[in-house]
Chain A
Amino acid sequence: MIRSQVLICGGTGCTSSGSMSIQNEFEKALDKYNLTDEIKLVRTGCFGLCALGPVVIIYPDGTFYSRVSPDDVDEIVEEHLLKGRRVERLVYDDHGAVAPDEIGNIALSDTAFYKTQERVVLRNCGVIDPENIDEYIAMDGYAALGKVLTEMTPEQVIEEVSKSGLRGRGGGGFPTGRKWSLCAPNKAPQKYVVCNADEGDPGAFMDRSVLEGDPHAIIEAMAICGYACGATKGYVYVRAEYPIAVKRLSIAIAQAREYGLLGKNIFDSGFDFDLTIRLGAGAFVCGEETALMTSIEGNRGEPRPRPPFPAVKGLYGSPTVENNVETFANIPQIILKGADWFASMGTERSKGTKVFALGGKINHTGLVEIPMGTPLKHIIYDIGGGIPNGKKFKAVQTGGPSGGCIPASLIDTEVDYDNLTSIGCMMGSGGMIVMDEDNCMVDMAKFFLDFTVDESCGKCTPCRVGTKRMLEILDKITSGKGTLEDIDRLEELAQYIKTNSLCGLGQTAPNPVLATLRFFRDEYIAHVVDKKCPAGVCKDLLTFTIDKDKCIGCGMCARNCPVNTIVKTDYVAPGHKLPSYHINADKCIKCGACMANCKFKAISKQ
């Protein structure tokens, strides 16, 4: 008889911090203490608090252990599972944000990180074993598919999805119900449903976590979409860089076939549907819907002009509906709980919730799901736990290389599709990279442009040549050789690329530059006119100097200098016994090793 369950996070974040070996240790320890019949180990998907991984939760008491190492496991088993005493040093500390309950636990759902989250897409992530279809069914899994096939007509399904107000979560925000209704009436011998799991934005991992934590939700939603639109075949296009997601999805598809939830005549309704996984080879452009379909067909991933839109002429020239992972993950819940329930969350024109991957300079790196319209401030400070090391919040970058940034002055912005667009930003797929005073905005724009230059497929000239030229101008600016005309030229070029590129990648590639020019023009000007990088990031504009009166002459800096460019001088500061040191600027590579090693804060950079 199982009296307690140990949930171990098996998401990519926790797996890379060693949750696999923790599971092995648990198996060994349970065996050693003869508890295998009483305690069940469950490997789940992502809990969301990746910064504190590997995460282990023990039920029924709900004790939340963070940063568990394999060496801790024996103690947890002996103390907690055998004797019932929590291992206090490993229990998650909320820093007083909520009061622990009478056993001294902070319930996961009460932590500042989870409390105001609304988990629809992530409802099963970190709760069920994603490799066990029965656990998904226990959480109402496949009930929506059953309802659709036995009680609803395809038109009613589309009507329900339209009424919910769900919009595409991949970045564009196109109404999902409308997308389906454009495809449904088109007659063709074969129609397709495609799931876009080619999540390519740097710093984004929402779709990966859903596939890893709740793969059956995607299968169920795609089958529902197939029924609504008259498609009997589906493809999931997922990056080969997501091996855990691919493995769990493959297992899930096999289990669904075995149960007859995929295949012929599902629920005896006469409806057939089956799925195939296609692995992407890592090209960013393949996340663009037409390039993705070209890639599924076995060709080089290049976008094609629209119209014709995929709803008319998509995969293999047939009508196709393509949605993002997160969009699909909402579908079963909308069917089960109704469009009105879904539409009750969010704002006027952005319904439901959105998953964000929080990263960068923030305490709680991880995955959060919040209702649309949540103020940015709440996301950064309450859920995200604020900026580490007492630094000042500067901006948040949203939407990856296609997005823009929201500066600290707009921190009260309520995050939804239209608000972000109105400030020249973009919801994007949901990556949120937080930046503090130590980040240089010009350097950040350069990073994303460098990415798009690499990832441009080369089919159209504005994107292929234009982004390269923009990068060259940014290089010039960050190395102190820029002029004010360069800034104007950069802006002009950005507008041109935006209006003339073939696909979304090129049309949005200048966004990081335009957004930073809009909100942080002074930083560009500082680089060009004063030849200074205010954040102290751009190396060519930095000089390291030793304050000769603060230097006590210990020589730590000289010993740690990799290019031996720090030399002893003849000057002995008043009150000191040894002569001070001096940095020879022309040989300095600006690595910062001297500054990091100076205990007397005598070295500064400007």
Chain B
Amino acid sequence: MKTLAELQAIKNRMKDKVVLRDGLEGIRVVVGMATCGIAAGARPVLNALVQGVNEENLEGKVSVTQTGCIGICQFEPVVEVFEPGKEKTTYVKMTPEKAKRVIDEHLKGGKVVAEYTIGAAQA
């Protein structure tokens, strides 16, 4: 290594890997991962979310975590999005493809994907 640019390149490459340890700030995406959720296919959804957040370079702003049974087992896989100062959004019957759209439109664009929410499912 001979230049500061090389040092910066390593820093940029590694920043994603340690940024998880900054703790919870910004938008929090929580996937229900109890037995019901896992059985309904929550794991591919979780992985799609983690991968999408990474690909879109949202790590500093969005964290993806899991939780236990949310209590609406017939709607699993359930994904909840918590934004500071806003009402939480509950997405139901999620798939990896739907997760992709949530990332694009909601997490990046700031617009809730209404048709996937629990409100739409119950209507």
Residues in A lying within 8 Å of B, measured CB to CB: 1-5, 7, 38, 40, 59-62, 82-85, 101, 103, 107-109, 127-128, 134-135, 137-140, 142-143, 146, 150, 259-261, 265, 267-268
Write out, one digit per residue, whether chain B residues 1-42 have a CB within 8 A of any chain A CB (1) or not (0).
111100100110111011011011000000111110010000
B50 at the interface (CB under 8 A from A): yes
A481 → chain B closest CB, angstroms: 59
- Please state if B18 and A109 are interface contacts (CB–CB under 8 Å): no
Interface pair A135/B14, CB less than 8 Å apart: yes
Smallest CB–CB gap between A590 and chain B, Å? 52
Is the beta-carbon distance between B17 and A135 smaller than 8 angstroms?
A: yes
A-B contact pairs, 19 of them (CB 8 A): A1-B51, A2-B20, A59-B20, A59-B21, A60-B64, A60-B65, A61-B24, A62-B24, A82-B33, A85-B34, A85-B68, A107-B23, A134-B10, A137-B7, A139-B18, A142-B7, A146-B7, A260-B1, A267-B2
User: Would you call B54 an interface residue if the criterion is a C-beta within 8 Å of the partner chain's C-beta atoms?
Assistant: yes
Instruction: Considering the complex, give the chain B residue whose CB is closest to the CB of A145.
Output: B7
Decide if B38 touches A59 in the complex (CB within 8 Å).
no
B3–A268 contact, CB under 8 A? yes
**Closest chain B CB from A46 CB (angstroms):** 15
Q: Give the number of chain B interface residues (Cβ < 8 Å).
A: 33
For B20, list chain A residues within 8 Å (CB): 2, 4-5, 59-60
Main secondary structure, interface of A, reads loop
**Would you list the 6 A-B pairs with minimal beta carbon distance, nearest first?**
A84-B66, A138-B14, A84-B33, A3-B50, A85-B68, A60-B63
- Among B24, B31, B33, B68, which residue has the most Cβ atoms of chain A within 10 A? B24
Do A138 and B68 touch (CB < 8 A)?
no
Let me know if A146 and B4 touch, CB within 8 A. yes
Known: A61-B24, A103-B65. 9 other contacts (CB 8 A): A5-B20, A7-B21, A60-B65, A61-B65, A84-B65, A85-B68, A134-B13, A138-B18, A146-B7
Q: Is the CB of A84 within 8 A of B31?
A: yes
Contacts of B31 in A (CB 8 A): 84
Report the minimal beta-carbon distance from A89 to chain B, rounded to whole angstroms: 15
Q: Are A143 and B7 in contact (CB under 8 A)?
A: yes
Q: Are B2 and A268 in contact (CB under 8 A)?
A: yes
Q: In the bound complex, do residue A267 and residue B4 qualify as a contact, i.e. CB atoms below 8 Å apart?
A: yes
Residues of B within 8 A of A139 (CB): 18
Residues of A within 8 Å of B57, CB to CB, are none
Given the complex of chains A and B, what is the CA–CA distance between A101 and B7 in angstroms? 37
Known: A135-B17, A139-B18. A259 touches B1 (CB 8 A): yes
Q: Say if the beta carbon of B107 comes within 8 Å of chain A.
A: no
Tell me the nearest residue of chain B to A134, going by C-beta: B14
Contact A138 B11, CB 8 Å, known A4-B20, A83-B35: yes
Task: Tell yes or no: B67 within 8 A of A by CB.
Answer: yes
| Interface contact A84-B51, CB-CB below 8 Å | no
Q: Which residue among A109, A138, A140, A142 has the maximum number of chain B CB atoms within 10 Å of its CB?
A: A138
Nearest B residue (CB) for A110 = B23
